Amino acid sequence: MTLRQSLNHLFRPALEALHEDGRVTALQSGGFFGGSVLVLPRAWCRHQFFPGDFQNTKALQALQLKVQFNTPFKNPGLYLRAGTSGASVWTWDQDTVFAHIPPKSGKRLIPESALFPAINAPDSQIRKLACLSGVEGQIWKDGSLKTSRWWAQEPNARDWQAFLKAGRLSPDNQEQPIKTTKADITTPPFIDGPLLPWLKKSITANLVPIVLLLFLAPFTYQLTQWGAALWLERHYQGQSAQKRQSAQPLLADRRDALSAIGSINTAMSLGDESLLLHALMEWVRVLDGFELEISRLQFSDNKLAVYASGEGQSKAPQIVEALENSPVWSDVSLQPSVGNTVIVRGILHAFTSPEAAPKQPTANSDQGA
């Protein structure tokens, strides 16, 4: 429901129909600030149309005084609907109405024919409508009800022709009355008439609800803001819970990735284990003929120190030459240590298959060259 629809529902008046026998029946439920409208039967009302411009307050007040002076009722009631070409005025006897409802009931009194749907057309339009009791003939032109007449029963041809003559229409094409139709009662406008008189009358009639509204407005605003904030908090909490639930697989993958990165960093800090393995395999291949036993290794930043012991240490130059000719070792040096232990130091390179390594020239090939 939009804001305009909510306001229309809040300020929509309740409609009640007053019948000729005094019964009051509900026609429409209303909002809290809409008040109550009592729909008067057309049988109790007199209709007149006054041509002219009655859009301003002074002209409207002058017309009201004129109507009240010329009305046949001793205690007249009056309802006026101003249009572009004039004003339709309904009058009735207030004493007859007050005989059925309390005078201080606070209800607006509106004749039923004033609540029938209007006809907006430049040419004359004729219709005959069923009322709470009896029927009413209407002649509309330029959006105003120019002529209206009520009959307790369906009018005959003579009555109908007299009605058309009163409306300055030729009865030649309308010798017989047209078909009676049923029109729904419409909701009266919230601002009915000039603003200042309507405002004064409305404030007087609705003083208690207006004071109550002004008193409760700040509390209602704060309560609305609190409710909206609470709803937003719960809404976003629900969304956060859903996002956390949907992110669980991603968080698990992230933990696994961080664990793998930690393992990689640890392995990188320890050195290239495959390179170390390749270097030892190359050691075994090129120094197979030497009697050396490895007792200790030191490996860091691709630099390897091998502590070896055995009788092969007496062949230090051959050991250095054999490792230098390897595609894995370079910058090989040999350093004696305690006892029969030697320390072989060198820099390791990426492993190359022994079959792919270049063959070293033999002594016979050198002599042949």
| pLDDT tens column, 251-292 | 888 888 888 887 666 555 545 566 777 778 878 887 877 777
CA distance 34 to 28: 11
Q: Is residue 195's pLDDT more than 50?
A: yes
What pLDDT is stored for residue 352 in this prediction? 45
Residue 287 and residue 323: Cα distance in Å, rounded? Answer: 8
CB 275 within 8 A of CB 348: yes
Counting every residue, how long is the chain?
Answer: 369
Which of the four pLDDT bands, split at 50, 70 and 90, describes residue 146? very high
CB of 108 within 8 A of CB of 114? no
Name which residue leads in pLDDT, 198 or 190: 190
